[in-house]
């Protein structure tokens, strides 16, 4: 097999007039030219000069989050390089600044040569008259609250490409800055339509129409952004590091597993102790104090697991925050997209279908983890059944118009009866959940064979399929 070699070229921040000579020479001399995206002014400029680049925009549909997309792009480039033996891969700005695909290529089994490019930051520093060596930082807007944690002073905020990102940045900054604090909006730098304007922080997501060539500059002075989270991450790293705690230093992901479960149950117990209408109704400060304490314990488990992953070179707490942010946006198309819903039930139905698509599963019940407690597993299974209109008959149990206490008493009575007959209630319920899962999968398979969409089907059709699967 031909030795794979990739020459990574920076396209600069704007048109081809800002392309560095070495980058232009590499592009002109290549027989195979790829570009991460055609949404860059230099790509069109080069095409007019007869230098065609094959854009990889189609791969943006290969995943539900950017991490998956960038992995797909890197894999595609490696495969192409192994076929051709030599290719040029062009990325916006500089290959060494905020370019995840290049990071992934460096980890792959290919030979990499990087031809620098002018980054958007160089133009931004020039426009606002800031020397980056005087303590300025470049921060990713998509994980701003985490990546800026503990920072103060001048910050250039990259990838401000939609209003929701601007809103996240604004909310994080408002924790430290006044609503009227000045923010510089930098758009399409280096192009004829370049625009630089000053806006009040409170108006950031209202008056700015962002695009993929938008960045922000803000100077927080002595005020720190999200400093408490930064202190917690630094504490976890200190405990793991030289001179830290011997117990923390020897922990692994698996050794900490039980602590995650214990702290999660402690949080659940603290929630149970809140007034029934919370956060509405009368505020019980003592109960909230307990919840605050337990949430802190659980948060530390998230932080320490992320610190361990960072030690392995897998991901950081910033990646965790970015991933859940993007996931929640994707799972709420009725808020962030053009999907219309008429009720909370429709939201749940959409949510279950989106989760199934994200995980690449053919079955709705595939996401019910085998290790869940049986009662929780059954609740999840019934919720998934409800999302396709399958409502199960409760049988002869007379539990209409009951409260939590009555349901609890009924469950306890069932457990007591099982115990009297030497039946383990947890195992029995887990067995029922397994049989339900198998029957549900059989129903899905039969629906697929007949070309029936369970979500869109009439409930009577779903019921017939369920009965047939039994």
**DSSP readout, 232-286?**
HHHHHHHHHSTTS-HHHHT--TTTTHHHHHHHHHHHHHHHHTS-TTTTSSS--HH
Domain boundary residue among 219, 237, 265?
Answer: 219
pLDDT at 377: 78
Residue 346 lies in a domain: no
Asked, for residue 340, whether it belongs to a domain, the answer is no
> Of 219, 253, 270, which residue is a domain's last?
219
Q: Check which CATH number belongs to the domain holding 260 and give it.
A: 1.10.287.1080
The CA distance from 326 to 160, in Å, is: 14
Domain assignment present for 350: no
Is the model's pLDDT at 24 over the cut of 80?
Answer: yes
Instruction: Identify whether 433 is part of a domain.
Output: yes
pLDDT confidence tier of residue 396, bands split at 50, 70 and 90: very low
pLDDT of residue 113: 92
Residue among 264, 274, 178, 175 at smallest CA distance from 225: 175
**191 lies in the same domain as 278:** no
What percent of the chain has pLDDT above 90? 37
Task: Judge whether 355 lies within some domain.
Answer: no
Considering the domain architecture, whether residues 298 and 232 belong to the same structural domain is answered as yes
Could you tell me if 57 and 134 lie in one domain? no
Lowest mean pLDDT among 165-169, 358-362, 371-375: 358-362
In a domain, 65, yes or no: yes
Q: Which residue has the tokens 């917690």?
A: 232
Residues 89 and 150 in one domain: no
Domain boundary among 219, 248, 281: 219
Q: Please report, for the domain that includes residue 48, its CATH number.
A: 3.40.1010.10
Question: By residue range, what is the domain housing residue 148?
Answer: 122-219
Letter string b/e over residues 126-142, b meaning 16 or more CB atoms within 10 A of that residue's CB: eeeebeeeeebebbbbb
* pLDDT tier at 363, thresholds 50, 70, 90: confident
**Residue 69 included in any domain:** yes
- Above 50 in pLDDT, residue 458? yes
- Domain count for the chain, please give it: 4
Model-level pTM?
Answer: 0.56
Do 378 and 434 belong to one domain?
A: yes
Q: What is the largest CA-CA distance in the chain?
A: 85
């Amino acid at each position: 097999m031909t030795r794979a070699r990739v020459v990574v070229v920076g396209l600069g921040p704007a048109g081809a007039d800002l392309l560095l000579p070495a980058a232009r020479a590499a592009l002109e001399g290549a027989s195979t030219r790829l570009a991460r995206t055609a949404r860059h002014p230099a790509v069109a400029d080069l095409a007019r000069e007869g230098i065609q680049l094959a854009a990889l925009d189609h791969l943006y549909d290969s995943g539900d989050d950017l991490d998956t997309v960038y992995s797909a792009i890197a894999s595609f480039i490696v495969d192409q390089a192994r076929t051709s033996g030599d290719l040029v891969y062009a990325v916006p700005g500089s290959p060494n600044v905020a370019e995840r695909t290049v990071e992934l290529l460096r980890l792959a089994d290919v030979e990499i040569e990087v031809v620098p490019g002018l980054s958007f930051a160089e133009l931004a520093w020039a426009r606002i008259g800031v020397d980056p060596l005087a303590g300025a930082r470049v921060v990713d807007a998509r994980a701003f609250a985490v990546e800026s944690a503990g920072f103060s002073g001048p910050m250039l905020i990259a990838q401000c490409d939609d209003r929701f990102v601007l809103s996240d940045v604004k909310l994080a900054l408002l924790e430290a800055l006044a609503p009227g604090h000045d923010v510089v909006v930098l758009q399409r730098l280096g192009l004829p339509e370049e625009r630089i304007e000053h806006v009040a922080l409170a108006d950031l997501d209202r008056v700015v129409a962002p695009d993929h060539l938008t960045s922000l500059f803000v100077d927080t002075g002595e005020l720190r952004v999200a400093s408490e989270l930064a202190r917690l991450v630094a504490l976890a790293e200190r405990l793991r590091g030289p001179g830290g705690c011997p117990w923390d230093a020897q922990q692994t992901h698996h050794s900490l597993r039980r602590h995650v479960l214990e702290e999660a149950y402690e949080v659940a117990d603290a929630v149970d102790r809140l007034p029934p209408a919370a956060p509405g109704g009368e505020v019980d400060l003592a109960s909230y104090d307990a919840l605050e304490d337990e949430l802190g314990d659980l948060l530390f488990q998230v932080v320490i697991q992320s610190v361990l992953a960072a030690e392995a070179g897998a991901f950081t707490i910033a990646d965790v925050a970015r991933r859940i942010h993007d996931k929640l946006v994707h799972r709420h198309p009725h808020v962030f997209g053009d999907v219309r819903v008429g009720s909370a039930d429709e939201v749940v139905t959409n949510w279950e279908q989106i989760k199934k698509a994200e995980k690449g599963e053919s079955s709705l019940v595939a996401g019910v983890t085998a290790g869940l407690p049986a009662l929780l597993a059954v609740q999840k299974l019934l919720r998934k059944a409800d999302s396709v209109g399958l409502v199960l008959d409760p049988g002869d149990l007379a539990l209409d118009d009951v409260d939590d206490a009555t349901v609890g008493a009924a469950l306890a009575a069932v457990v007591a009866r099982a115990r009297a007959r030497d039946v383990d209630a947890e195992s029995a319920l887990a067995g029922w959940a397994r049989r339900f899962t198998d029957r549900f999968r059989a129903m899905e398979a039969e629906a697929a064979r007949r070309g029936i969409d369970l979500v869109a089907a009439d409930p009577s059709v779903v019921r017939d399929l369920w009965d047939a699967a039994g």
